[in-house]
Each structure stands twice: as structure tokens, then as C-alpha cells.
Structure 1
Amino acid sequence: MIWEFALGDVSKCFGSDFNVFKNRPMQRNPNGDLQLVSRVYDLNGKRMEFEKPMTIVSEYDVPEDAWFFRENSHPTLMPYSVMMEIALQPCGFISTQSGAILNYTDIDLHYRNLDGNGNLLHCPDLRGKTIVNEVELLSTVASGDTIIQTHRFSLICDGQKFYEGDTVFGYFTHDSLANQVGLDSGKKVLPWINENPTEKSILIDLNSSESRQLLNENSEKPHFYLCDGQLSFSDVIRLVPEGGKYGNGYAYARKEVNPQDWFFPCHFHEDPVMPGSLGLEAIIQTLQAFALQKGLGDSFNNPRFSPVKSKVVWKYRGQIVPQNKYMQLDLHVKNITKKDGEIIISADANLWREDLRIYEISDIVLGISEA
């Protein structure tokens, strides 16, 4: 059933009401390496009854050797972006099941995440486990050709809730997405480094083998390095160790958008767009580069990047599609603290589609601990 929603006949998943969308682009679940739902069940609520809450339960069977474990710096570390996708993908299922899109069968609408927050309560080893997600559709509001829906999610493993939050999704026309004005009402807001060109920065070219050697694993610290492959989302990183608006450190990164990037066909079928979660992963990668260059793991015998119990808030007001030329991001380190044998780095971040600021992330956190 999930495959039909991702790549096949949507009516086989949601019923004959959706026959009208055959051979047309419509909302899809991610597929391939980004399909992070195994099954859905226990649906409560009736289609088109938007004044009443609707709930659903989904499960994801986490492979012990999933690609995101193999390509990460530590074999037990689930990337934050993957955890976000596990939490958010069933929201798309319940949105479709609600039937909101059935009031707009004469136009093609695109499904996009707008806002959200995720609170990591515990940090379990999720390899080989089944993650249960309890999702509630809280509200549906339609205005013109736009639909806005609010959801609540809770991830549970072995009977313990470990990640929870709220999020907002919307349905938009192609024209409304093409004319998005970003977070600053169309005003041009530049990265901090552009406004402070005299600040001395450290340039890291991630396409250079020399730079990669500085940031990659070695025999003494086998779990403390910058990932390559499908978890790498930058070409160039610039670091200002004492810079940024808080004076505790600053990092900038840029990636040339390649229409052949692996995630476009996965997210979504016939509607390729970079997942917002991977933009957040790019920010985490840049924060890791800052930690590596600053030597924040030097006090550990065998350091690793580790998850930190914290609440992250995101806001998206734009998208990155294959036709775009590049994306850029920056982050401002707020605090570097040591607690209970762990170094914790917190930062606020922004991401641009070319010169338009479209993502804002508050309180992204990175831990460094003994492996």
C-alpha cells in the first residue's frame, strides 16, 4: 500500500475517490532511500469531517544496516533528517486520507512542509527496531487554492516515547510555489559573511582530497569525521571561529544544485524537491565541520558526534528544485558547553535558495561524547 502511494496508483491506497488523479501529478510519499514508512493502521476519523480530529498509527522497521547508518560517522547514529522523515511522512498519509485535496480536483496541488518543531526526549539505539508513530491531524483550513493542515506526532520505540512535536503542512499551486518571497517578504537578506567581508575565514573545499583528509576519519578517531556520500550536502564551507552574531563562532556553506542529486527522484515522484529535512542535515554537517576544525573532540580518547535531548524549531518559506543553481546556508554558534562528559554546541541557522532566504532553524544542537 505504501508503494502505491509513493510510486503507483494512489486510488489503490486511498480508494475510488482518488480515481480522478490517475495519470496526473499529485501528492506522494517519498520513495526509495527516503521511504521511511513500513505500514499504517488504526485509522480513526472520517474523510471530509474536518471539524473532528483524525488519528493514525504508522510503523517503520529500521534495518540494522540501513544506508543512513552505514554512511554515518557512527553505526548507531540515526541522522536527524531521517528521524524527521520518519515523524513527518505519515502526516502526508493522513492528509491525503482526510480528503482535503478532493475539493480541488480541477487543479494540481503540491504538498509542502511549512513549520514544525521536534523535541528529542531520549536517544535510543534504533537499529533493527520498529518505530511506532502516532499522528493526529488537528486542523484543516482552506483559503482560495491553498489548504493548511496542522499535525502532532509522537515516535515510540520499545514502549517509550523518544521524539515528539507539531508540524504544519500545506497544499499549494505551482504558481504560488514559484512566486514564494521567502522569509523576508522578498527583501534581500545576505549571509552574515557577506556583510562582514573583512572577517578572516577558513576555507574548506569538500571536493578537494586535501580538505577531506583534514575532516575524514583516521585510525585514532574512527568515528569523528565529516560524512561523504548521501549524507554530504555541501561543496564549500567557510569558518570564522570567533565570528557570527553571538561571537562564539560562525560557519557558511554552499552547494551547487545538481538535477541528478540522489534525493530528487525519491522526493517526490513527478514532483522533485529537496526535503527540508536534508537542508537541516546540511546545517548539521556544517556544524560538525566547525567542531572538527575547532578541535572540540580533542579532550576525548575516541570522540563521536552524538544526539542531544533538545527541541529544534524549523520554518520553511521556499523550496529547492532541480532547476535552481545553488543553495547556501549559514549558522551562528550560540553556546559551547560541557555537561556530564559531553560537549554540546547549539546554533541558529538560515538557508538560502540562491539569494532568497527560505529556511530558518532555531536551536540546532550537536553533541560530542566518548564513543
Structure 2
Amino acid sequence: MDDLQFHGPPVVVPWWPEESAGNPVAPACPGAPVSVARELAGLVHTAHETALRAHQALEDWALAGAARPTPRVPAPVTPAVPAAVIEAGEAARRTPAREAGGFLRASVTYRHDGELPSAAVLRTDTTADTEGAGSWGWTVHHGAALLAEAHGLAGEGAREAAAWPVRAVPGDSRQFRALARATRDRLGPADVEMVCTEGPGSLRRVTEATHSGAETGRYHLGRLTATVDLGRGGPGTGWPALLDAAWQALHLHALHQGLHTCLVRPALLPWAGKSTEIEVLDTAQLTGSLTLEADIAAIGLVPRPHVVADMRVHTARGPLARLHNVAVILRERPGTPVGPGAAARQSGDETPPFANELHMAHAAEGDLHVAYGSPADAAQPKVRPRLPRGDLLMLDRLLTAPPAEGEGSPESEYVTEYDVPAAPWYVRENGGTVPHLMYLESSLQAAAFVGGALGASFEFPDESLTVRNLEGQDHMVRRADLLGRTVRQRTRILARTPLPGAVLQRYGYELSVDDEVFYRGESVHGFFTESALASQQGLDGGRLVPPWLRRQASYEVRAVRPDLSALPVGQGRFAFLSGTESELVRDGGTHGRGYLLCTKPVRADDWYFAHHFLNDPVMPGSCGIEMLIQMVKGYLLCTGTIDEKELNALRTPPGAELRWTYRGQILPQHHEVQAEIHLRRIHRDGKGLTAWADGSVWRDGLRIYAVDNIVLQVGDSSGEQVGHP
């Protein structure tokens, strides 16, 4: 490259004044004009110097290798939206050859967790192809912050480069309860335009969309079919436009499900840190109107409202692309509070709630300081009192604000709400009737959250703390149609008793629909430190008292062994009798009216351990009660007292009063559960049948549950005397 150099001093000042110090400038004659020839010579000299520097830069780049990132000149982007960030990165690697179309695989991750300034200056760095393999990559920064990064392969050779990720299909059907009950599931162009105008973000690429049921789709969480418009070439098209359309379609689904209602004016954003895989058969076809089909893979509220989906994209001629793990999130804007008292959510009668679904979700499996609004404590122990998670969570809103410290009385009445799905999983898996578990969980969860909101969840801050229901009683006031309606819980704290290592709280509560009470009861919760909880000794003072059948001489009883696993008394998660060994005595038990003993192993993967509670898995007492209720049904069916048609109609009648006492817990590491029922009375008349029973539950030989006055009825056989056999 030396032959490109000029020798001798330049004849004019160079174009880079800061570099002219080492180059003497020829003096001009005072008052004499500079000749055109001298100016031209200077320009030629400068041009050659520029060429020399360019050649040297190319030589350095070639020696360093083609994979070196190439800095791009910063360019302002207005408005600074995520789609513009992705487009800036892709524009940095775009060439006429790449715009010609063909196969493409991309993995893109949006990194910025929040909104960008309205006019942000972006810097892009690219990685060039290596050895003709078609690989590429880029990053986009705003200042020192990494906004997005992507890498991938292009060309026909990329088809065999890597296997497409496959997401596991869940074994159990999960159920997400929408925060809003939409009046329409199919949105036309006018509907989408209205959302763009009135909603929290722009959805300009979506022209229409259809939202299917919550339990449809590959992952049983819903499906979305949308028509999207990618434009007709030029900037803002290609696979970045497809990803933008996918984000917008999921944001529309989030709005349809009401996820925006638990935050104040949220921002619609890609979920930062979630990598999305994109595969396009021919990038040249990524224009105009396309059909997008999305299987919702995740939808929830922790850490903030979000939707994740896998997608397929079609043209009129057939499949064009697929996307894996498209993820969007709704976040509060900077400075906007999210704790209780700042809720945007409205309840059924437009009463602003003190705490909404976001706070309940965090009370179950998120940040307790979001749930209760308490100051952060980095040293907080791992185990804290929680609400159940997932499908077992049956609490949505707290309408009543707890009194400020030093104000009011904690014994006030607190109002909460639970939106019952139109087709709940627990009804489907319980033979079509509402199980007693729902009444117990919805009322006891309300009581536990109220207790936590009043400070019990932050007692003993230096120790692990758990919450357990200890005892209670309930009264079925009347039958009520609950499906698709809002249940309102009214909870009153009757007493609060501090103890060494524990706090006990007694509650009274009632459930109502449309201001008509259908259920009421009382219960006691204990908030226990680990050492206090370990001191529980069971119901018999720590003695191992076996079930009734094991205390009888073998020659005195005649037991049969029915297969209750085959009976249609519960399915799926409600198959509490599945895998049991059963022993039935027709004239046995304490009252001589009938007896059933069931024994089953404890499985660490039983579904309720993952739901009840986070970092503190324990079998819910309501599941133990439901098992005893199913045993009564099984006894009646096995003995021919009822047929299968009557079985599905059995339910707890109005007037029934159930009482329970818990003095122990069933954990994943335990080995065996035993449960027994004693029939007290069976009454049949021309109006139907009513059965009364008592029951107990053992864990590894220790009796820990006692449940009295289980009442089941088909028809209306015993009138007002149902609670007193």
C-alpha cells in the first residue's frame, strides 16, 4: 500500500485540522490568490490520504477476522418503540441479497424492561457471516443499555441447523380466570380500532381477531386467531414486522382477558429477557395480510400481567412461518404505585377494591410486599404465609381497606370477592356439582388474606412462618347457582391471640351472591413459626390410636374390599379415592350403621402440593374433607343404597352443619394416609335420600383430622331436620 502515498508537504490545509500539526503548510503569498491548480492538487492529496486510511482499515479488519462486530453510526428513532429497536438491528445487516427472500431462522431477545424515550438514539453492532455459513447477529444499544439482540441463520443450509424447540403439553388442564368477562370473542376491524383509540397501546398491525375458550388450544389456556397486516415492502416489514404483529396480537389478547384492569394505565411491552425463536420459509412473502394462530402457553399476573404463546403463520397458499415463546407483559409506568390502595380494578358493583387480582397472585406466589404494601425486607425468610396457587386460588379482590395503624378497629368487617368461572375445573371433575372444597377454600382464603393484610404475615420477621387452619364449622344456608357469578365474602375477625411462636385468629364469615347469603361459618387460623408447628401432636395427645376396624377382632367383623378407584365419584384432580385399598363393613362403625376404611400412599407429586403453598407444600384440609365426602358416596353406591344417577345428584343440603378439627399436616415426605367414615343414619322417603356420617384422617398412624356431621342429600327427603339426625 506504500505506492499510494504522496511524498512532500501538502500544498493546502488538510480536511482534518486537528491532524495538521505534523504537516507543514506551504505559505501563501500575501495578497496573492491561490491558484486553481494548487487547490486541485490539495484536494487530490487529501483524497489519496483518505483512500490510504480506508485501505488500512480494510486490511486491519481482514486480519482480525470477519466475525468482528462492526459499529454503526447512531441514528435517532422516533417513536422509540420495541418494533423500531428490532427494525434498527435488522436494518444494520440488510443487503439486497438478504432482501431477495429465502429461508431464515432467528433467535431474538428484547432486553429493555420499560418504555424508551420518545426519541432515542440507537447504536447497532453486527456480526457478519462466517465461512459462508449464513450466520448473522446484531445488538442494539441505547447509550450503555443493551435493548435487544438477535442471531440466526439464513439460506437453505439453515433448515437443518437446529431442531425446533418443543414445549411440553401439561398433563392437567389448567384454568386461567379472565379478569374481565368480554361480551364478544370475535373482534372486527372497528373493535380493534376502538381498542387502539381507547386502550393503553397501539395495535395497528392487527385487523381482526378471534379469542377461543380458556381451556382450548394445545396448552389448554386458550387460542387466538388473528389477521395481521405487515405492509407492502420497504422499512418496517420482514420478520421484524412479523414479530411486532405477534406482540400486538398477544397484547390484544391480554386486553380481551382484562389483564390491564389491575394496573393504572399500564405500558404494553415485550417481556424483557424472553427469547423468541422465529422460522420463516420464505422471507419474501412476509408482506400484506397474513393469518396468525396462537396457542396460549402461559398467562398470569406474576411478576406482572403477561401472556406467552407459540404461533403459526399462514398465507392464502399455506404455512409460511412459526414462532416459539412470543412473550408480552403489561407494566406500570415509572412512579406509579402497584400496592394495595392503588388498584385500578373495579368490582362487580363498581366499588373500587383496596386489593385486586394482582395482589392476590403475589400473595400466592409473588412478592408479599406487592401483595400487602409493606416495606421491602431483603432478609425475609423463605417461608411466609401464602394463599394457594394456580387453580386452587379462589380469591380475587379485597374491597375493604384495613385500618391504618392507630386508627379504627381490626375487628371490623372485611369484604372480598371471588369470580366463579362459568365452567370451573372443580365442577367438571366432581361429576357436575359444586364440591364442598369450593365453599371451604373461598371462605378460608378470604379469612387468611384478611389476617395477613392486618399484619399476621409479617409477624416473627426473622423466622419462617406458616399459616394453618386449625378448626371450624360451617352452615349451608341455601342452594345457590354460583357458576359465572361473583361470590362476595364478608369476614369478621372475632379474636386475636398472640402465643409464643404463634398468633391465633378466629373469624366469622358468610358468602353471598347478589346480596343473598348462601353459606356461613367460623374458623380458626394459626400463624406458626417452624418450632411451634412442629409441636402438633395429633388429636389423641400424641398416642397412635388406630382406625376402628384395626381395633376389632377379626372374627367379630366381616369386611369386603370394594374397588373404589373404579367408581365415578371424582376424576382428574378430584380422584381422591384413586389408588386406595378399601375395606367396607355394612353394619360396622361406631354407630353400627356402616363403615368404610380407605388406605392410600402419599405421593410427593400429588397435584395439591404444588398449589398449597409456595415453599411450604402441604395437603389442604379441604382435600381431606372432600375425600371423606367421596367415601360416603362410595359407600352408598357400593351397598346399592343409591344408583349412579343419584350419585351425581348428591350434595350438601341447606341446613347442614359441618364441623372439623385439624391437629396435624400431610407433607410430601410422609408415607401413608388412612381415612374412615362411620355412617350415623340413612333416611329415604318418597322425596329422596339423606345420609349422615362422621370421619377421621390418619397420617402415618397418627390421627390428625376429625370431621363431624357430613351430610349428603339427593332430592329433599328430610326437610328442616337435615342438620340434626
Asked whether the two chains share a fold, i.e. TM above 0.5, the reply is yes
- Which position in structure 1 is the counterpart of 2:399? 41
Aligned-pair CA distance for 1:32? 0.7
Matched, 1:346 2:695: no
- After TM superposition, list the pairs within 5 Å mapping 1:352-363 onto structure 2: 352-363=698-709
Report which stretch shifted further, 22-31 or 267-276: 22-31
Task: Determine helix, strand or coil for the equivalent of 2:570.
Answer: coil
Aligned-pair CA distance for 1:242? 1.1
Distance in 2, Cα, partners of 1:120 & 1:43: 28
Structure 1 residues 21, 315: CA separation in 2 closer, same or farther (over 3 Å shift)? farther
Give yes or no for contact 2:505–2:526 (8 Å, CA) kept in 1.
Answer: yes
Q: Which amino acid aligns with 1:69?
A: V
Task: Determine helix, strand or coil for the equivalent of 1:19.
Answer: coil
Distance in 2, Cα, partners of 1:50 & 1:249: 53
1:82-113 residue CA offsets vs partner (Å, 9 max, x unmatched): 21001110111111111134341111111000
One of 336, 349, 365 as aligned partner of 1:7: 365
Give yes or no for contact 2:411–2:493 (8 Å, CA) kept in 1.
Answer: yes
Structure 1 residues 291, 143: CA separation in 2 closer, same or farther (over 3 Å shift)? same
Aligned-pair CA distance for 1:319? 0.3
Distance in 2, Cα, partners of 1:270 & 1:5: 13
1:170-227 residue CA offsets vs partner (Å, 9 max, x unmatched): 01122332332101101121101101233111212345xxxx1xx3xxxxxxxxx321
Aligned-pair CA distance for 1:149? 0.5
Matched, 1:175 2:531: yes
Matched, 1:276 2:632: no
One of 325, 330, 342 as aligned partner of 2:671: 325
- Which position in structure 1 is the counterpart of 2:440? 84
Give yes or no for contact 1:57–1:133 (8 Å, CA) kept in 2.
Answer: yes
Distance in 2, Cα, partners of 1:267 & 1:282: 17
Q: Which amino acid aligns with 1:37?
A: L
Aligned-pair CA distance for 1:366? 1.2
Give yes or no for contact 1:352–1:358 (8 Å, CA) kept in 2.
Answer: yes
Q: Which amino acid aligns with 2:569?
A: L
Matched, 1:104 2:450: no
Aligned-pair CA distance for 1:44? 4.3
One of 473, 495, 501 as aligned partner of 1:139: 495
- Which position in structure 2 is the counterpart of 1:245? 590
1:33-82 residue CA offsets vs partner (Å, 9 max, x unmatched): 10001211123434588974143211111111111111111x2x110012
- Which position in structure 2 is the counterpart of 1:296? 641
- After TM superposition, list the pairs within 5 Å mapping 1:46-125 onto structure 2: 46-47=404-405, 52-73=410-431, 75=432, 77-125=433-481
Structure 1 residues 204, 300: CA separation in 2 closer, same or farther (over 3 Å shift)? closer
Matched, 1:191 2:537: no
Give yes or no for contact 1:305–1:367 (8 Å, CA) kept in 2.
Answer: yes
Task: Determine helix, strand or coil for the equivalent of 2:400.
Answer: strand
Larger Rg: 2
Report the TM-score, using the length of structure 1 for normalisation: 0.90
Aligned-pair CA distance for 1:128? 0.9
Distance in 2, Cα, partners of 1:21 & 1:37: 28
Q: Which amino acid aligns with 1:67?
A: W
Structure 1 residues 342, 180: CA separation in 2 closer, same or farther (over 3 Å shift)? same
Distance in 2, Cα, partners of 1:113 & 1:301: 33
Task: Determine helix, strand or coil for the equivalent of 1:111.
Answer: strand
Aligned-pair CA distance for 1:342? 2.2
Give the number of the structure with larger relative contact order, counting CA–CA contacts within 8 Å between residues 6 or more apart: 1
Task: Determine helix, strand or coil for the equivalent of 2:623.
Answer: helix
Structure 1 residues 345, 179: CA separation in 2 closer, same or farther (over 3 Å shift)? same
Task: Determine helix, strand or coil for the equivalent of 2:625.
Answer: helix
Distance in 1, Cα, partners of 2:455 & 2:702: 33
Matched, 1:311 2:657: yes
- Which position in structure 2 is the counterpart of 1:221? none
Task: Determine helix, strand or coil for the equivalent of 1:155.
Answer: strand
Structure 1 residues 3, 21: CA separation in 2 closer, same or farther (over 3 Å shift)? farther
- Which position in structure 2 is the counterpart of 1:154? 510
Give yes or no for contact 1:283–1:329 (8 Å, CA) kept in 2.
Answer: yes
- Which position in structure 2 is the counterpart of 1:231? 574
Distance in 2, Cα, partners of 1:98 & 1:20: 21
Matched, 1:165 2:521: yes
1:332-363 residue CA offsets vs partner (Å, 9 max, x unmatched): 11111135712111011111111000011110
Distance in 2, Cα, partners of 1:283 & 1:131: 25
Give yes or no for contact 1:342–1:369 (8 Å, CA) kept in 2.
Answer: yes
Distance in 2, Cα, partners of 1:52 & 1:6: 23
Runs of 5+ unmatched residues, structure 2:
1-358, 717-725
Structure 1 residues 307, 24: CA separation in 2 closer, same or farther (over 3 Å shift)? same
Distance in 1, Cα, partners of 2:540 & 2:659: 18
Task: Determine helix, strand or coil for the equivalent of 1:13.
Answer: helix
- Which position in structure 2 is the counterpart of 1:29? 387
Distance in 2, Cα, partners of 1:301 & 1:279: 23
Distance in 1, Cα, partners of 2:672 & 2:663: 17
Q: Considering fraction of residues, name the structure with more strand.
A: 1
1:108-154 residue CA offsets vs partner (Å, 9 max, x unmatched): 11100001001001111211111100011121111111111101110
Distance in 2, Cα, partners of 1:201 & 1:90: 42
Structure 1 residues 300, 268: CA separation in 2 closer, same or farther (over 3 Å shift)? closer
Distance in 2, Cα, partners of 1:278 & 1:65: 20
Distance in 2, Cα, partners of 1:138 & 1:302: 38
Give yes or no for contact 2:691–2:712 (8 Å, CA) kept in 1.
Answer: yes
Structure 1 residues 14, 236: CA separation in 2 closer, same or farther (over 3 Å shift)? same
Give yes or no for contact 2:380–2:462 (8 Å, CA) kept in 1.
Answer: no
Give yes or no for contact 1:336–1:343 (8 Å, CA) kept in 2.
Answer: yes
Give yes or no for contact 1:242–1:250 (8 Å, CA) kept in 2.
Answer: yes
RMSD of the alignment, in Å?
2.2
Report which stretch shifted further, 35-44 or 295-304: 295-304
Task: Determine helix, strand or coil for the equivalent of 1:245.
Answer: coil
Q: Which amino acid aligns with 1:232?
A: A
Runs of 5+ unmatched residues, structure 1:
216-224
Report the TM-score, using the length of structure 2 for normalisation: 0.47
Aligned-pair CA distance for 1:24? 2.2
Give yes or no for contact 1:320–1:353 (8 Å, CA) kept in 2.
Answer: yes
Give yes or no for contact 1:43–1:55 (8 Å, CA) kept in 2.
Answer: no
Structure 1 residues 165, 49: CA separation in 2 closer, same or farther (over 3 Å shift)? farther
